[in-house]
């Protein structure tokens, strides 16, 4: 059986590759990195002191992995190390860490985030942080961190002991600049001053080459894609504001259990939301929305239904949710609503899996609802035929009833999101749909949470600067 490499293995391998590239002073080859993997216990001190990973675990696991199916990851790690080092790490030695070996980097952000959640004066901001949360990885998705060796002690202290002034000078200046501007307005809420200022620290450390947060995706060739996601001052908000979105298609395909929303972004084709269930085979849980791009092997982040709901409500899309609820009330009686989002509750379908009699009563209603959501692209008859096939078929640990209930959940929830954004539904204007997508792209792509209304962009959650490589 092939070795199942976890995130910790891949990040540790990349950390090692960076230190090896630095030590050799030239591009490294996969065979050289593979040799290092097999000999971690005798790693030269000139490499080991610059590479901070869990050596006890990796010494054992790398030996197994390197003799299994590690070649593609070894190649990727070499290509990324060679490309990244040449462009960003040549000005002196660096210490390389898996991100959780620098706990104060994301830890300080978490403390600030928790204070915003508890103390924000703006009610919408408190709700935002309660519902959305803005995880540490959404704030900064860095997988490994490079810190200039001569600056390690000072940089670690800056992260750990960060204290913001009462009001960020830069955020205050931004507010003043945009106070009387009605068009192209950018607003930084004062409740976010501390987070704003911490982002400036992270940004300045990055620009000075003292601390580089690096987000990793597998590289597929030696020509590694690299992009700095720059959030200096209000740049992240401006970038979001200037993003143009055009919805091109919403695919309600009877042959799968998901919905695809395709759109162009700033004139670039191939972007889409993959809306589907990501839970294990034995669970029934809410679908999520994954940002993807045609031709890319890497996914670009997920959005949960509570986040989608909040974006809809703040973007003037509430009427579409009301339409969905009204339609369900006309079909079903006594249907419970989700307590955490505005879409159909996944718990309903979990109940069906345990009570086939309820499924028998409601399956035709859900089939009709799915046909409505898809604007007749997926007929009720097709849904009923698939449900019947699944009920009659038993597989593995689950019964056919469980599979049928899960199928309906996938279809209903993913189609509800698709319905909201479908050009053919006229409950909300096209520009509102496009604004919703812009917010979803911004959040899923770890660019913060920005809500768009007409020509105004409001930054509720602000991401920080990092280097995105690979993918």
Cα gap 162→168, rounded to integer Å: 13
Which stretches within 244-355 are classed as H helix?
305-314, 318-331, 346-354
C-alpha angle with apex 85: 82 to 89, nearest 5 degrees?
175
User: In 319-465, where do the E strands start and end?
Assistant: 449-453, 456-461
Token pair in block for residue 371 = 């046909």
| pLDDT value at residue 231 | 66
**Higher pLDDT residue, 408 or 338?**
408
| pLDDT value at residue 345 | 94
Q: Give Cβ neighbours of residue 383 (< 8 Å, ≥ 6 apart).
A: 366, 367, 370, 371, 408, 411
Cα gap 289→254, rounded to integer Å: 19
Per mean pLDDT, which range of 25-34, 132-141, 320-329, 357-366 is the poorest? 132-141
Q: How many CA atoms within 13 Å lie on the side-chain side of 263? A: 26
Token pair in block for residue 275 = 């809306």
| pLDDT value at residue 339 | 86
| pLDDT value at residue 136 | 87
Band of pLDDT at residue 464, cut at 50, 70 and 90: confident
Per mean pLDDT, which range of 48-57, 84-93, 229-238, 257-266 is the poorest? 229-238
| pLDDT value at residue 89 | 87
**Higher pLDDT residue, 257 or 295?**
257
| pLDDT value at residue 442 | 81
DSSP for residue 337:
P
Closest to 157 measured CA to CA, from 194, 102, 88: 102
Give the CA radius of gyration of the chain.
25
pLDDT of 185 over the 50 cut: no
Other Cβ atoms within 10 Å of 141 Cβ, number? 24
- pLDDT per residue as tens digits for the range 415-455: 999 999 999 988 899 999 999 998 898 888 766 778 887 66
Q: Which residues of 111-136 are buried (b: 16+ CB within 10 A; e: fewer)?
A: ebbeebbeebeeebbbbbbeebebeb
What average pLDDT does this structure show over 204-223?
93
| pLDDT value at residue 1 | 54
Which strands, in side-by-side order, build the sheet including 211-216? 51-52, 94-98, 144-148, 211-216, 466-469, 226-229
- pLDDT per residue as tens digits for the range 89-104: 877 899 999 999 999 9
| pLDDT value at residue 167 | 46
Highest mean pLDDT among 114-118, 295-299, 392-396, 414-418 belongs to 414-418
- pLDDT per residue as tens digits for the range 130-170: 777 667 887 899 999 999 999 999 999 999 999 866 545 55
Token pair in block for residue 93 = 């030695």
- pLDDT per residue as tens digits for the range 242-268: 678 899 999 999 999 999 999 998 888
Closest to 289 measured CA to CA, from 322, 268, 312, 318: 312
Closest to 399 measured CA to CA, from 431, 459, 355: 355
Tell me the average pLDDT of the chain. Answer: 86
Q: Which residues of 316-354 are buried (b: 16+ CB within 10 A; e: fewer)?
A: bbeebbebbeeebeeeeeeeeebeebbbbbbebbbbbbe
Per mean pLDDT, which range of 110-124, 191-205, 299-313 is the poorest? 110-124
| pLDDT value at residue 299 | 61
pLDDT of 236 over the 80 cut: no
Q: Which residue pairs, CB below 8 angstroms and at least 24 apart, start in 373-380?
A: 373/252, 373/412, 373/415, 373/416, 373/418, 373/419, 374/252, 374/415, 374/418, 374/419, 375/252, 375/422, 375/424, 375/425, 377/252, 377/254, 378/252, 378/253, 378/254, 378/411, 378/415, 379/254
Token pair in block for residue 402 = 């469980």
- pLDDT per residue as tens digits for the range 171-180: 555 555 545 4
- pLDDT per residue as tens digits for the range 335-369: 877 888 999 999 999 999 888 899 999 999 999 99
Band of pLDDT at residue 284, cut at 50, 70 and 90: very high
Q: Which residue pairs, CB below 8 angstroms and at least 24 apart, start in 268-272?
A: 269/294, 270/294, 270/295, 271/441
């Amino acid at each position: 059986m092939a070795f199942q490499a976890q995130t910790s293995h891949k990040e540790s391998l990349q950390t090692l590759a960076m230190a090896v590239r630095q030590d050799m002073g030239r591009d490294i080859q996969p065979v050289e990195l593979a040799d290092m993997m097999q000999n971690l216990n005798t790693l030269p001190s000139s490499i080991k002191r610059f590479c901070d990973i869990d050596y006890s675990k990796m010494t054992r696991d790398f030996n197994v992995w390197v003799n299994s199916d590690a070649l593609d990851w070894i190649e990727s790690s070499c290509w990324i190390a060679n490309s990244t080092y040449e462009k960003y790490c040549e000005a002196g030695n660096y210490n390389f860490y898996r991100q959780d070996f620098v706990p104060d980097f994301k830890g300080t952000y978490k403390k600030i985030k928790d204070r915003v959640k508890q103390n924000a004066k703006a009610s919408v901001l408190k709700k935002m942080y309660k519902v959305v949360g803005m995880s540490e990885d959404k704030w900064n998705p860095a997988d490994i961190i490079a810190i200039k060796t001569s600056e390690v002690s000072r940089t670690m202290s800056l992260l750990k002991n960060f204290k913001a002034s009462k009001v960020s000078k830069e955020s205050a200046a931004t507010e003043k600049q945009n106070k009387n501007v009605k068009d192209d307005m950018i607003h930084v809420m004062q409740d976010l001053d501390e987070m704003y200022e911490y982002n400036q620290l992270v940004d300045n450390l990055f620009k000075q080459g003292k601390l580089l947060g690096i987000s990793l995706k597998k590289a597929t060739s030696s020509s590694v894609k690299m992009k700095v996601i720059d959030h200096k001052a209000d740049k992240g908000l401006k970038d979001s504001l200037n993003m143009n979105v055009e919805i091109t298609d919403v695919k309600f395909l009877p042959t799968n259990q998901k919905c695809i929303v395709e759109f162009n972004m700033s004139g670039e084709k191939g972007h889409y939301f993959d809306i589907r269930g990501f839970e294990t085979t034995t669970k029934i849980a809410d679908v999520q929305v994954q940002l993807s791009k045609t031709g890319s092997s890497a996914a670009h982040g997920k959005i949960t239904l509570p986040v989608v709901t909040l974006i809809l409500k703040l973007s003037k899309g509430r009427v579409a949710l009301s339409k969905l609820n009204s339609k369900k009330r006309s079909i079903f009686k006594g249907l419970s609503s989700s307590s955490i989002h505005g879409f159909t509750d996944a718990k309903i379908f979990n109940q069906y899996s345990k009570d086939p009699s309820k499924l028998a009563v409601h399956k035709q209603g859900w089939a009709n609802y799915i046909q409505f959501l898809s604007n007749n692209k997926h007929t009720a008859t097709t849904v009923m035929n698939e449900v019947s096939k699944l009920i009659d078929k038993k597989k593995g640990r689950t019964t056919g009833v469980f599979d049928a209930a899960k199928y309906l959940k996938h279809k209903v929830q993913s189609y509800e999101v698709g319905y909201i954004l479908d050009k053919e539904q006229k409950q909300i204007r096209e520009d509102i749909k496009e604004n919703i997508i812009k917010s979803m792209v911004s959040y899923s792509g770890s660019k913060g949470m920005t809500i768009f209304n007409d020509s105004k962009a409001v930054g509720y959650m602000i991401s920080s600067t990092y280097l995105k490589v690979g993918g």
